[in-house]
Chains A and B, each alone.
Chain A
Amino acid sequence: MKKLRDWITEHSDNYDDFIAAVEEYGKSIREFSVSDEHNELREAYMRRRIAESEEKYGKAAVITGAFHTSGIKNIPYSEKDKKLTDKLKTVPSKATLMPYSYYRLSSRSGYGAGSKAPGYYEILFRNKCRGVPDNTPAEYLSRLAEYQRKNGFSASSAEVIEALRLAETLAAMRGGKRPSMSDLRDAAVTCLGHGSFGEISLACADVEIGTRIGELPEGTVCTSMQEDFMHQLKDLKLERFRSASAQELDLDLRENLRVKSEKSAFLDLHRSFFMHRLIQAGVHFGTQLSTNQDNATWSEKWTVSWTPETEIEIVEASLNGETVEGAAKTSLNMELLDSQSLSDTAETLYKALLCGLPECIKTASSAVQRMASDCASPVEEGRTIGTLSAIVRFGSIRKLDPEPLTGIISQLFLKFCLQAFNACICDANAAEEMISALTFVYEACLAHDFLDSERFRKILGDLADSDVVNPLISGFACALLTEKGEITPGKLSELVSRRLSRGTPPAEGAAWFEGLARRNRRSLIGRLTLWEKLCSFIEGLDDEEFKPVLVALRRTFADFTAAEKTDIAENIGEVMGISTQQAAEMITAAVTAEEQAVIDELDDFDFGDI
């Protein structure tokens, strides 16, 4: 059918033929489509308006799509139409003018009734007016070549000639007298694009669609964005904030149970969506203040003020859409296209959640999924699992459907598990990143039942047991297992012995211990054997070995609290046979000048890779 339409528009030589053919075409579509009430109502209204204007002003000219021609022309306006259309409700609307572009006219812009190639039909139309319709194929192909040359690609006249010959042969094979646009396009791809459309896609967009834009006199534009903004202010009862002085806005996102309608129950939530959407659209009407951690998930604080800049920003934002929501959507979608890394994309997903745009959440989710399958860095994956896990856990307050995200988390989780072990064979800097990734995944495992925690436990087991991975990570994995009670005391003691034995380089042993002490210190402090082993480890070191170990151990214990240090002192006291009191005093006492001097000597020490 579509081909028929192209053929009609491209091949009829005079106006009457064209109109007749188009009408015939419209009729045939009507025959094949089911007539629905909505369409009948629309046409009844069209007939009514035409009849009314003709009565008032005389004969009317009607511009309409071919589909409706026979519906308007062949059926006279009747009493039935009047009855049907009388039932229609009046909705206040505002007419405004806006400049139109060839792009907006084309079906590319998402305009359902758009033309496939306004630029091409302009060439066709002009050539017809000049009486040389046969020039169209040559002009179209030459323009493609011209565009290619201007943009630094080669396109020879020989190729244009070959393309023209091919297009004519193609047209002849199907019995047409002149190449249609699809013949021309195919020939251009073969000859000018050397077989691939990608090579000439920009040229095609330029020639077929075109870049022309209409104009309007100054002052006639009132963007729909401005209107939407005012409407929303009123709807969300925020009008009082439209003043130059900054005011505070406290939002409680939870459902307000004291009110009746759903709209007012979630008023604050919708206000929050609105404010976030504005920010996303680039309109700085409000600024979010950080709240304290306790009630972060359901409470928000904003300072709001209206400035002339805000007004300008709204007009600028109207380039991205006709409503605040639309502009925020466009901006989010552009961010998605621009974002290069997995965690950036996840961040955009989080913003979409804040803006309350389910569609964007969906697109962002699939973008995250796409990125995820290409991602090769477990650190990125771990971080993203953390972000997504938080979204799933706290998304319910914003009415999020967690379903699609859980799939992505599982996918990332599997990927992470497959890559984690190899990624842990790394230097100290990377080890810190891996530890934070492992922590994110560990916490996600605790929070979500749908993750295969057995698989993760196995990875942790491998890491804890391996001598090739970075000792810090190995110790940390061991700590996570201890925390969950997934490691037997026997196994733990075996690992501690091995790590702190003479065979292991002392610096590695100390790093391992540092990793182990990162978590669940209480349970470590309770294990006397551990401290015995640590003591004998330190005793067995000679002076040269002691220095790097000291650095690592100092770092390890630096962030223990005073109470924890006292408890360790108790343990050490037990091991060394001195009184708890004495040991505690020694450990928690301020550093003396003498000791400080010794410590300062360490400044010259080459820390290497510890």
Chain B
Amino acid sequence: MAQEILRLSAEQLYKNEIDALIANETALIPKGWQMSPKSVLTYILGGKVGDTVITPKYMGDRRVVEICIATLVTDRALLLIGEPGTAKSWLSEHLTAAINGNSSQVIQGTAGTTEEQIRYSWNYAMLLAKGPSFESLVKSPIYNAMETGTIARFEEISRCASEVQDALISILSEKRISIPELSEEVAAKKGFSIIATANTRDKGVNEMSSALKRRFNIVILPPPSDMNTEINIVKTRVAQMSKDMELNAEMPTDSDFEKIVTVFRELREGKTLDGQLKIKPTSGVLSSAEAISLMVNSMALAGSFGNGKVTDSELAAALQGAVVKDDDKDKAAWEEYLENIMRKKGADYASLYAECRERNA
């Protein structure tokens, strides 16, 4: 059964790790949590507990994760902000999986999200038959979380209309939902909180009101701080994904990973790795997530149409698609990068350079 599911939830995938952490718990467990803050930290960053090896889920600044967990301990809501592909949703999923063993209480924010989806709505058939009652109430994930004293997730909160976002204000400050139709009020149990995520590229689409912002502790997730961390992230995820998708191709070589991550980092940061030269950045998003999908794509290409080996030709094709997103400006910037930077990187990059150049001509 499990093999047929495309993507297992975090608590299913890492069940043995979570169980081991709970079994070996020694520290104080906050109300509503299934393990102590320290164990949550171990679950996210990896380590060893008893005989079980805990795989790292988030590779990056330990401090960021500490602040996230500490925020949830203080009953404040947590808002994760970052560039696309900086593992915001990933981190929020794993935090809830570790804290509650349930990462499925999610509201996906879209332009069409309504206030009912945040608070509650009605089962109209039941409403007609029985009138307003708790039975005919359809509870939102947040409502559920309040009732059970757990954590709800709110993805891409800044994609919702501002008035819909503001429905959270009273929930977060008073920690209760009133149901005027039933003259009732539901108070949140201890342990309730919300983890929201927002994308910096969406800034200004639906600006969050300062009243709402004040109710969150805001943590900005940085792109991977150094080259090796990022290569590690990309490699680990590509290995996992290619296994899951049964791609019929060899893993790209370490030097392929290094080349792609170098190009991505340099274009993203607008300077060479050694910081000596400035580079004109391109308009597309070049996060680790894009690097991962680029690698997986090249493997799919190589597996389906090539000889199963990722070559510079596949990488160049994928790079062209990832970097040159819309117009001539990207194309000129990419050419500048190729001529000024990549050409001078020496023999390792020679064939990739030639392939890229040919494609960009």
Q: Which chain A residues have a beta carbon within 8 Å of chain B's beta carbons?
A: 154, 156, 158-159, 162, 165-166, 169-170, 173-174, 186-187, 190-191, 194-196, 366, 369-370, 372-374, 407, 410-411, 414-415, 418-419
Contact = CB atoms under 8 A, between A and B. Distances in A.
A194 B71 CA distance: 13
A195 B210 CA distance: 13
Contact of A169 (B38, B74, B79, B270): B74
A313 B242 CA distance: 70
Interface in B55-92: 63, 66-67, 69-71, 73-74, 76, 79, 81
A190 B336 contact: no
B23 interface: no
Nearest to B82: A195
Given A162-B76, A190-B71, A195 B339 contact: no
Given A156-B214, A411-B340, A369 B278 contact: yes
Given A166-B76, A186-B63, A195 B70 contact: no
Interface residues of B, number: 32
B279 interface: yes
B38 A195 contact: no
A158 B214 contact: yes
Contacts of B37: 173
B187 interface: no
Interface string B313-338: 00000000000000000001001100
B332 A166 contact: no
A190 B219 contact: yes
7 contacts: A162-B76, A165-B76, A190-B71, A190-B217, A366-B276, A366-B277, A370-B278
B280 A414 contact: no
A369 B219 CA distance: 34
B49 interface: no
Contacts of A154: 210
Contacts of B278: 366, 369-370, 372-374
Contact of B340 (A159, A186, A374, A414): A414
Contacts of A415: 336
Contact of A159 (B66, B79, B214, B219): B214
Contacts of A169: 70-71, 73-74
B218 interface: yes
A594 to B, nearest CB: 56
Contacts of A374: 278, 280
Nearest to A170: B70
B213 interface: yes
B213 A194 contact: yes
Contacts of A195: 79, 81, 218-220
B170 to A, nearest CB: 16
Contacts of A165: 74, 76
Contacts of B280: 373-374
B64 to A, nearest CB: 9
Interface in B142-169: none
Given A195-B79, A373-B279, A162 B340 contact: no
Contacts of B218: 190, 194-196
